[in-house]
Chains A and B, each alone.
Chain A
Amino acid sequence: MTALPPPTTAVLPPPSAGPEQQGMISVREVSKFFGSVVAVSDVSFSISAGVTALLGPNGAGKSTLFRIMCGLTPPSRGTVEVLGADPRTDRAVRGRLSLVPQQDALFDHLDALQMVTVSAQGHGVHEPTDAAMQALAHVELSDVGSKPVGQFSKGMRQRVKVACALVNDPEVLILDEPLTGLDPVQRRNMIALFHRLGDEGRCVLVSSHVLDEVARLGSRVLVIAQGRLIASGDYHDLRGLMDDRPLRIRIGTSDPRRLATALVDRELITALSLDANHVTVDTNDADAIGRRLAPLARDLGVRLTEVHPLDDDLESVFRYLVEGR
């Protein structure tokens, strides 16, 4: 590919909530190794009440970080405090936090009410059956009858897991990909529930690898990739960065050379390559390409057969955030 003058890159501000701040969850210089594999590397942040989204591609270390925050596995280095206590060793704090695990695991022989009641009893909740019915109402599963959860759809199982996490009225709620398997209406309702919980003063931490989900989850975002916290801040800053980042687009056309020359003349692209029927371009302004490409082709008298973004996936977004390319 022929490189034109290099694009300027910008990344979100580095994680700003440092170890000196005491939140409901405080993660200080945490690393986790599995043999020679580094799952989490020197992560520090602190979060308080409200909804915070943890965004990262699959395999970024989100679930490992969540397991550390719940005490399910100890950090190899660093410290974690939830509500001022070590969740790994402090029994009391486990009654004040809840986790919706990513894995699709439930006691499949139980029905929904029994499953959530077991969760309530495990937390020592008074009147566990009533609490379970209330939690099931929160996720709109009051009327599912006595069918075992093993026969539930993925979305229903996901909601049972959320009900299990709500039943102890937690102050800290950690949800690992909780929207997976939900239909659009259920997603909207679930996100509204998370916001209500956050507005009530709870710390709600939700992970996702889907950008559009994060957009609706809230304005506070932690971005993790390759085990490292690479950015934190307001979602709108992140979104702006996404829109401004360089994008590679393949354009099918009847005259690639002529179209490419015109795009360079108008300073719409930063790099290009040609073959018989395509011109592949890098641009810092995908919106401008979108607006001006068709009129330009019409003016030049060339035919467009394809306009296809090549790196509009989440992996490329993270590559850009991590490496600036």
Chain B
Amino acid sequence: MSSTTHIDQRPANHRSVPPTTALALAYRVVLAQLTSRGRIVALTALALVSTVAGFALGQADADLEAGVRLISGLGFAVVIPVVSLVFGGAAIGDLREDKTLVYLWLRPMDRWPIVVGAFLAAVTLTAPITLIPVIAAAVLAGSGGGLVAATVIAGLVAVVAYCAVFTLLGVALRRFIVWGLAYVLIWEGFIALGGAGVARFAIRKYTRSIIVDRTGIDLNLADFSQTTGIVVPLVAAAVALAVASWQLARQDID
């Protein structure tokens, strides 16, 4: 084996990594880790169910309310949250579970670029896999431009918010998939329907509010303005990423 540089000859200025470099590195590493063919095929197939349903609705000449209920009940209740959970939770969670997180953690860099880079990688995969089929469903349902525009806006908000919250779950909890499914299926699916108070802690309430605001179709527990429906989830996303960064700096790394 060849000899190494003598310690005294080493440059002294390579000890700190700028946040932008750290973010780009984390983004590339996590994106490559998340990109497995099986996972993408399975989740795309799930998302295409909404497209098929939208096509069927359009063929049946269904009205706007049926289109709104389809997009809200399938796209925003199942497709976007579940795909976001898989990618958002795995963004840091997979690195931690397969013990490769040490290769990012034990480096002279801040923690927040690691979290934000991982979050952006999750968004990069989640957005096209969910939004294209769900927006296609809104188009194919034939319910008009209002639903399509609402789906675009609410979809972007939902992807950002869910990915951020589930990135936090991946940092903080070992069984992030179980807890994430519990949040989507139990909290948002049942408990949040029980009253306005608990519904404030459900991302779905805000995305439904955006759709209701733009289409005029009345949905249960969707009484916020469009502005509130956009701003609150994005603030929640920022808070989730901040907490995730704080948590990552303090947790034990294997």
Residues of A whose CB lies within 8 Å of any CB of B are 67, 70-73, 91-96, 99, 101, 103, 105-107, 109-110, 118-119, 121-126, 137-140, 164, 166, 168-169, 171, 189-190, 192-193, 196-197, 200-202
Contact = CB atoms under 8 A, between A and B. Distances in A.
Given A105-B98, A107-B33, A125-B14, A201 B103 contact: no
A122 B113 CA distance: 12
B98 A110 contact: no
B102 A196 contact: no
Given A92-B108, A124-B17, A202-B7, A101 B102 contact: yes
B159 to A, nearest CB: 24
Interface string B1-27: 111111110110011111001100100
**B contact residues, range:** 35 or more
A107, A137, A140 pick with most chain B CB within 10 angstroms: A107
Nearest to B10: A169
B246 to A, nearest CB: 13
Interface in B92-141: 98-100, 102-110
12 contacts: A72-B252, A72-B253, A92-B15, A101-B102, A107-B32, A122-B17, A122-B25, A123-B14, A139-B1, A192-B1, A196-B3, A201-B7
Mostly, the A contact residues are loop
A137 B14 CA distance: 21
Nearest to B8: A201
B4 A72 contact: no
A124 B21 contact: yes
Main secondary structure of the interface of B (DSSP, over half): loop
B106 A200 contact: no
B7 A123 contact: no
Interface of B: 1-8, 10-11, 14-18, 21-22, 25, 29, 32-33, 98-100, 102-110, 252-254
The 6 closest A-B pairs by CB, nearest first: A95-B108, A95-B15, A122-B107, A105-B99, A124-B17, A73-B252
Contact of A200 (B7, B25, B102, B253): B7
Nearest to B13: A126
Contact of A95 (B5, B16, B104): B16
Q: Which of B10, B33, B106, B253 has the most CB of A within 10 A?
A: B106
Nearest to B114: A122
